[in-house]
Structure 1
Amino acid sequence: MTDQSALISSAYSQALSVIESVEPRIAEATRKELADQRSSLKLIASENYASPAVLLTMGTWFSDKYAEGTVGHRFYAGCQNVDTVEALAAEHARELFGAPYAYAQPHSGIDANLTAFWSILAHRVEGPWLEKFGAKNVNELTEADWETLRGELGNQRLLGMSLDAGGHLTHGFRPNISGKMFYQQQYGTDPETQLLDYDLVRAKAREFQPLILIAGYSAYPRRINFAKMREIADEVGATLMVDMAHFAGLVAGKVFTGDEDPVPFAHITTTTTHKSLRGPRGGLILAQEEYASSVDRGCPLVLGGPLSHVMAAKAVALAEARQDSFRTYAQQVADNAKSLADGFLTRGAKLVTGGTDNHIVLLDVTSFGLTGRQAESALLDAGVVTNRNSVPNDPNGAWYTSGVRFGTPALTTRGFGHDEFDKVAELVVDVLKNTRPGSTKAGGASKATYELGDGVADRTHAASAEMLDKHPLYPGLELT
Structure 2
Amino acid sequence: MSATPAPAGGIRTAALPEAAPATPVPSAAPPPHPAWGDGFADLLRADPDVAGLLLAEAERQTTGLQLTAAENFASPAVLAALGSPLTNKYAEGYPGARHHGGCEIVDMAERLATGRATALFGADHANVQPHSGTAAVLAAYAAVLAPGDTVLALDLHHGGHLVHGSPATLAGSRYRFVGYGLCPETGLIDYDRVRDLARRHRPRALVCGSTSYPRHPDYAAFREIADETGAVLIVDAAHPIGLVAGGAAPSPVPYADVVCATTHKVLRGPRGGLLLCGTDRAGAVDRAVFPHAQGGAQMQEVAAKAVAFGEAATPAFAAYAHQVVANARALAAALAEEGFGIATGGTDTHLVAADVTPLGVDAATARRRLAAAAIVLDTCGLGPGAARGLRLGTAAITTQGLGTAEMAQVAGVMAAAVRAGSPGGPEVAEVRAQVAGLAGRFPPYRSHM
- Please give the TM-score of this superposition, normalised by the length of structure 1: 0.84
Asked if residue 413 in structure 1 is aligned to residue 399 in structure 2, the reply is yes
Which amino acid counterpart does residue 52 of structure 1 have in structure 2?
Answer: P
2:263 alignment partner in structure 1: 273
SS state of the match for residue 390, structure 2? strand
Aligned pairs for 1:282-431 within 5 A = 282-297=272-287, 298-393=289-384, 395-396=385-386, 401-431=387-417
Asked if residue 463 in structure 1 is aligned to residue 449 in structure 2, the reply is no
Q: State the identity %.
A: 40
Aligned pairs for 1:184-223 within 5 A = 184-223=177-216
CA RMSD of aligned residues (A): 1.8
Alignment partners' CA distance in 1, 2:139 and 2:295: 11
Unaligned runs of 5+ in 2: 1-29
Superposed displacement of residue 357, structure 1: 1.4
Which amino acid counterpart does residue 431 of structure 1 have in structure 2?
Answer: A
- Work out whether residues 372 and 432 of structure 2, in 8 Å CA contact, stay in contact via their aligned partners in 1: no
Asked if residue 99 in structure 1 is aligned to residue 90 in structure 2, the reply is no
- Work out whether residues 164 and 172 of structure 2, in 8 Å CA contact, stay in contact via their aligned partners in 1: yes
Alignment partners' CA distance in 1, 2:50 and 2:204: 47
2:249 alignment partner in structure 1: 256
SS state of the match for residue 354, structure 2? strand
SS state of the match for residue 178, structure 2? strand
Moved more, 168-177 or 219-228: 168-177
Q: Return the index of the structure with the highest Cα Rg.
A: 1
Q: Of 34, 41, 44, which aligns to 1:20?
A: 44
- Work out whether residues 342 and 354 of structure 2, in 8 Å CA contact, stay in contact via their aligned partners in 1: yes
> For 1:168-188, what per-residue CA distance to the aligned partner results, in whole angstroms no more than 9, with x for missing partners?
111112222221110111101
2:83 alignment partner in structure 1: 59
More helix by share: 1
1:69 alignment partner in structure 2: 93
- Please give the TM-score of this superposition, normalised by the length of structure 2: 0.90
- Work out whether residues 71 and 87 of structure 1, in 8 Å CA contact, stay in contact via their aligned partners in 2: yes
2:170 alignment partner in structure 1: 177
Which amino acid counterpart does residue 303 of structure 1 have in structure 2?
Answer: Q
- Work out whether residues 373 and 435 of structure 2, in 8 Å CA contact, stay in contact via their aligned partners in 1: no
Alignment partners' CA distance in 2, 1:237 and 1:355: 34
Which amino acid counterpart does residue 294 of structure 1 have in structure 2?
Answer: A
1:160 alignment partner in structure 2: 153
Superposed displacement of residue 36, structure 1: 1.2
- Work out whether residues 383 and 457 of structure 1, in 8 Å CA contact, stay in contact via their aligned partners in 2: no
- Work out whether residues 353 and 391 of structure 2, in 8 Å CA contact, stay in contact via their aligned partners in 1: yes
- Work out whether residues 351 and 364 of structure 1, in 8 Å CA contact, stay in contact via their aligned partners in 2: yes
Alignment partners' CA distance in 2, 1:118 and 1:85: 26
SS state of the match for residue 21, structure 1? helix
Superposed displacement of residue 10, structure 1: 7.1
SS state of the match for residue 12, structure 1? coil
Which amino acid counterpart does residue 471 of structure 1 have in structure 2?
Answer: F
* Shift in CA distance, 382/476, structure 1 to aligned 2, threshold 3 Å: same
> For 1:400-450, what per-residue CA distance to the aligned partner results, in whole angstroms no more than 9, with x for missing partners?
x21111100000001111121111111111221233xxxxxxxxxxxxxxx
After TM superposition, which residue ranges in structure 1, 4 or more long, deviate above 6 angstroms?
Answer: none
- Work out whether residues 382 and 456 of structure 1, in 8 Å CA contact, stay in contact via their aligned partners in 2: no
SS state of the match for residue 43, structure 2? helix
Superposed displacement of residue 33, structure 1: 1.1
- Work out whether residues 337 and 359 of structure 1, in 8 Å CA contact, stay in contact via their aligned partners in 2: yes
1:117 alignment partner in structure 2: 141
2:6 alignment partner in structure 1: none
Alignment partners' CA distance in 1, 2:70 and 2:427: 27
Superposed displacement of residue 101, structure 1: 0.4
* Shift in CA distance, 83/354, structure 1 to aligned 2, threshold 3 Å: same
SS state of the match for residue 186, structure 1? strand
Unaligned runs of 5+ in 1: 1-5, 122-152, 436-450
- Work out whether residues 226 and 262 of structure 1, in 8 Å CA contact, stay in contact via their aligned partners in 2: yes
Which amino acid counterpart does residue 327 of structure 2 have in structure 1?
Answer: N
* Shift in CA distance, 183/173, structure 1 to aligned 2, threshold 3 Å: same
Moved more, 11-20 or 83-92: 11-20
Which amino acid counterpart does residue 184 of structure 2 have in structure 1?
Answer: P
Which amino acid counterpart does residue 332 of structure 2 have in structure 1?
Answer: A
Superposed displacement of residue 461, structure 1: 2.1
- Work out whether residues 81 and 300 of structure 2, in 8 Å CA contact, stay in contact via their aligned partners in 1: yes
- Work out whether residues 254 and 327 of structure 1, in 8 Å CA contact, stay in contact via their aligned partners in 2: yes
Superposed displacement of residue 13, structure 1: 5.7
Which amino acid counterpart does residue 424 of structure 1 have in structure 2?
Answer: V
Aligned pairs for 1:218-237 within 5 A = 218-237=211-230
- Work out whether residues 434 and 453 of structure 1, in 8 Å CA contact, stay in contact via their aligned partners in 2: no
* Shift in CA distance, 333/11, structure 1 to aligned 2, threshold 3 Å: closer
- Work out whether residues 162 and 173 of structure 1, in 8 Å CA contact, stay in contact via their aligned partners in 2: no
